[in-house]
Structure 1
């Protein structure tokens, strides 16, 4: 099953206890409370469920959904 931007947004919102519509696509998720532990948990879930291939450092350098999408193979 391919990972989508919508699924990413829902997963991040779930990790933060927020509504998905409150999660921006183009802003730093750190400003919304996403920390390194949550990034690691999201990455592990996406690896397991969606087979993504990237590493924590790459995601942590640019913590925004729009920046992550191409790194995770998301095209839409």
Structure 2
């Protein structure tokens, strides 16, 4: 099962108690309430969907757009 941008947006929104539409691709997710523990949970969720991810890739830039770029690269490589 591929991870999509919209799935990521929905998963993040659920994790922070927001509507998916409230999360822009360039929003700083830390400012929206996402912390490193929640990030770890999201990475585990996306790994269960078959994407091999590294925490460091996500901790560097806390935006949906940057995370999507990382996921897209991993999915196209596999």
Q: TM-score, normalised by structure 2?
A: 0.87
Task: State the SS of the aligned residue for 1:15.
Answer: helix
Q: Which segments of structure 1 move beyond 6 Å, counting only runs of 4 or more?
A: none
Work out whether 1:31 is the aligned partner of 2:31.
yes
Q: TM-score, normalised by structure 1?
A: 0.89
**1:22-75: CA deviations, max 9, x gaps?**
111112101100000000000000001x21122112101101111111211278
RMSD of the TM alignment (CA)? 1.5
Q: Give the total of aligned pairs.
A: 74
Q: 2: CA distance between counterparts of 1:20 and 1:41?
A: 18
